[in-house]
Amino acid sequence: MFGEGFLRTIEVAALALILALVLGIIFGVISTSNNKVMRGLARVYVEFFQNTPLVIQVFFMYNGLAIAGLRLSVFVIGVLGVGIYHGAYVSEVVKTGITSISVGQVEAAKSQGFTYIQYMRYIILPQTIKIVLPPLTNQAVNLIKNTSVLAMISGFDLMYVADSWASSSLDYGPSYVFAGFLYFMLCFPLATWARKYEERLKHKDTARIPFDPSEEAVTC
């Protein structure tokens, strides 16, 4: 039982992380563009999802959308809910990364004839990796832990399994301690890996990092 819940948590977390990275990069890039409408759009997204509780967002998708006739599986709600919520935070991280790159880089790229999308992709975003990786890992760890919100809508994730195990066996202590241990086993290696990666980059200032968001997601 715990095994299934654990796997479900990993699946939801992995897919939600990919979604959060994709949304975060898109909205992070948009929020640094010159277009006011686009910037406003990114602002609304970030403020809305950062300033309302994840639980309510997930309840809304579970109950609210169902009333509107859109019935999503708990799994999909987990991925969308957690992914969109953390996408807002990733967007802020990406934005900070982009604004920390010197304006000379953009000018060099423009003078060579790169378009906005092209210079973001080839020149600016790859340079932000070093800067955004530590806060991004924090996000990934938080994201994994936040998938436990699924327990509140019977998500069959690790937290839900712990809940039902505890209430049926009345072994509350061992059940939650074990669930906590499994979350730790997921999050701790990730945090450690990221710390080492960061150290390595610091030592090797000239390191070359390919920019591929999916690559980071897979490691979780």
Partner 1 sequence: MIKLQEVNKYFGDHHVLKDINLTVAEGEKLVIIGPSGSGKSTTVRCMNFLEAPTSGQVIIDGEELTQKNKIQLVRRTSAMVFQSFNLYPHKTVLENLTLAPIKLQKLTKEEAIKKARKYLATVGLSEKENAYPSTLSGGQQQRVAIARALATERKIILFDEPTSALDPETVQEVLDVMIKLSKENITMVVVTHEMGFARVVADRVIFMDEGRIVEEGKPEHFFENPSEERTKLFLSKILR
Biggest CA–CA distance in the chain, Å, is 68
Beta carbon of residue 107, minimum distance to partner 1 (angstroms, whole number):
6
Residue whose CB is less far from partner 1, 82 or 136: 136
Contact 27, 89 (CB under 8 A): no
3-state SS of 64-129 is HHHHCCCCCCHHHHHHHHHHHHHHHHHHHHHHHHHHCCCHHHHHHHHHHCCCHHHHHHHHHHHHHH
Beta carbon of residue 106, minimum distance to partner 1 (angstroms, whole number):
9
Beta carbon of residue 105, minimum distance to partner 1 (angstroms, whole number):
6
The footprint of partner 1 (CB under 8 A) covers 102, 104-105, 107-108, 110-115, 118, 122-123, 126-127, 205-206, 208-209
Residue whose CB is less far from partner 1, 102 or 168: 102
Beta carbon of residue 130, minimum distance to partner 1 (angstroms, whole number):
9
Residue whose CB is less far from partner 1, 110 or 200: 110
Residue whose CB is less far from partner 1, 107 or 171: 107
Q: Name the region of 107 (left: φ>0; alpha: ψ -120 to 50; beta: rest).
A: alpha
Question: What is the C-alpha separation between 112 and 110, in angstroms, rounded?
Answer: 5
